[in-house]
Chains A and B, each alone.
Chain A
């Protein structure tokens, strides 16, 4: 007698068995046992214990992300100045729906941000021994700056024009955070005797 192949049994389990296979399995104890064994294997596989990683890989992910953001921010710092000039022009020449003061303020905070960025580049974050606390503080500030950069990136040119005040606020926040970051690095440098 011809029995079901494993393909037939799998198809039956998936509810896609051929007419022949369905009829055969109804009258064949061996093939029914085969189907039952398949169900059991699948059930046992599903019930296998969940394994957990022995090591925490989040710090590695986090470090890679922070490093990527820092690189992006450095590029942003340079191109930011050019963008500021363009945007300032845009805002000045459309005075009906925006306050010119926004443009001036925007240009000012962006320039401030770029200056701070240059200042920060003098402090190589990996180059010297630091206290864990200031390193953690610097990392926390960098995270917050990265969040603001994310928001700035999401504010496309169209939205930026429509909401100049938001843009200025974000840049102001960025400058504040960067000032804090610089002061952390300055303190740190003093601490290690630089």
Chain B
């Protein structure tokens, strides 16, 4: 029997120092002994990072806990705000909006999901929005925040949260974390790659100044270009643009006009959508659009015309093709971040997918034999995750009544993947939400987006009727009352941030502003 010790990987080289590269460095360095394993990261300041990627999903907290990161310190240094969900404006119809919250709607009653009861009462003429029964939605509407309660019986426990932070500061934060744990950073532009003549495995990357960095395992975090995974190994790309036609984004930060909102906003526009991510010291904005339906200049003009405060930098354009690398792990190269594929930031999933890839890589870390099983299992799981996020994103575009531009006509009429079509059919007919073991959008997420996008079930679980109308009416009034009382008692998000984790950047900016 072979032993672990004989075949261990001793050198990991991370190519790229964007968000993905430093997440990988931090994740790996926290778990392995440094005398056992050297981790080097190569990045080029001249090339730079994409530097967007500022909204997250709650899973990031598990990752931070695993790394032993202190939340207040982390939030201060990345100028972070809390995020309770995403507000979608004008997606189903112009003038209509909804929040996709990180949390539940009501609670199951008589063994039947709350939304069935809600649909039932709606059919009997109850016009209350399902929002009345979601604490995080109400908190978002009123820009309040408090920590979720650990007491599972209380309504204050019915939500979770994520962060909105400065991408540059986040990378810097993880960098100092990783460097403190022995990761060695090398500055320089990679101009060459050497491969084993027989196997094609990557043996080293060669820098502009002639330095060679050798490794056993390479993590390609080089961004869209996929320096190793694509340019060197030609792993191939599965494009999904026919379902998700946006292929460009303009991004620009601006001055914040109002108090911090504890959510990200995604506003549908003529040929895509605009994001608004509030941080403590500024607001991140961007217009994600389809160049097939709108010119780059027109998109830029739309974005600049729709800022709430003065722009703080020149707008920057990024091009992408939505899809996934056919093999995210090929030979001794594992791609993460933008090098592994791209799904637009509509549900802020990219950082999560990076962390998932790192977690899976830790679990499936290969040894020097690089057996195909490790690679295949990693690829199988990551592909599945990408597909499941993809379907969820398509739902936002497809389930719409908008017919005011050719872009929305296209999205409304396009053929969607079978894997999504049957889910929608089940929800439409009977309010059934399909659940999987893998795939991180759980029932409340699907529910929020279905209802928000106007997919209202025609039927509901007949077992809802086990609860009488009177009992249900009483329960619903009671729950809505608890929700609104809980929100009333919470401090504003801004006040909470101020006492919990005032941004290091805000302080600096305030001083600068005084000059």
Query: Is B a genuine binding partner of A?
Result: no
Could you tell me which A residues sit within 8 Å of B by CB distance?
none
Binding site for A on B (CB under 8 A): none
